[in-house]
Structure 1
Amino acid sequence: MCLGIPGQVVEITDPERQLAMVDVSGVRREVNVACVIEPDAPVDSCVGYWVLVHVGFAMSRIDEEEAAKTLAILRELGEVEEELDAMKESEQSLRQTHSGAERHAG
């Protein structure tokens, strides 16, 4: 099932590419925040936002209460664990690819 999972923007990692670190139930993932930044606002203005994350993009803003409700429902359905496992696997794969590229470059 494809779904948006709530997370909180905790830091900007690449302002030019509009990338930020989002915390989703303790798992941190870099996502694109272009869809949730207010027009004419700096990228770092979205730090602290609660967002729905889907396939590497923060798709929309939600409030903290809505985030908590959504996470609770998804946990009941068992969806959060599946999404978090997928995020962890993806992050590990990216780290391995990145460290392998560094070894070949050095």
Structure 2
Amino acid sequence: MCLSIPSRVIKIDKKKNVVMVDTMGVVREASLDLMQEGSVEIGDYVLIHIGFVMNRIDKEDALLSLESFDEILRRTDDDV
């Protein structure tokens, strides 16, 4: 099973065809090779799998998912 956490695009490098994304405070690079050119913009939320942006998702859905992940992490920390 794969779990994909919404990531916010913070920078686009068109020359390398990659984006820098923020995933709950962790910044990483992801390839745009599987996306149509121009389909992702700074500020968009995307889902990433094995280093590739797989699709863009709605901001409201992304924020709800991030709230859920944050709650899971808080509850896990409380159990330790």
* TM score, norm. by length of structure 1: 0.56
C-alpha change, 1:55 and 1:68, in structure 2 (3 Å) is same
Structure 2 residue matching 1:3: 3-state secondary structure: coil
How many residues of Structure 1 are paired with residues of Structure 2 in the alignment?
Answer: 74
Superposed structure 1 runs of 4+ greater than 4 Å apart = none
More strand by share: 2
TM-score (norm 2): 0.71
Q: How does 1:17-96 map to 2 (within 5 A)?
A: 17-38=16-37, 41=38, 46-78=41-73
Structure 2 gaps, min length 5: 74-80
Partner in structure 1 of residue 9 of structure 2 = 9
What are the Cα deviations for residues 45-64 of structure 1, in whole angstroms up to 9, with x where unaligned?
Answer: 52221101222111111011
Q: Relative CO higher for 1 or 2, CA cutoff 8 Å, sep ≥ 6?
A: 2
Residues 59-94 of structure 1, C-alpha deviation per residue, up to 9 Å, x if partnerless? 11101111111122233444xxxxxxxxxxxxxxxx
- The percent of aligned pairs where both chains have the same amino acid is 40
Structure 1 residue runs without a partner (length 5+): 79-106
How far apart in 1 are the matches of 2:41 and 2:35? 7
Hey, what's the Cα distance between the residues in 1 that align with 2:64 and 2:58? 10
Q: CA deviation at 1:37?
A: 3.6
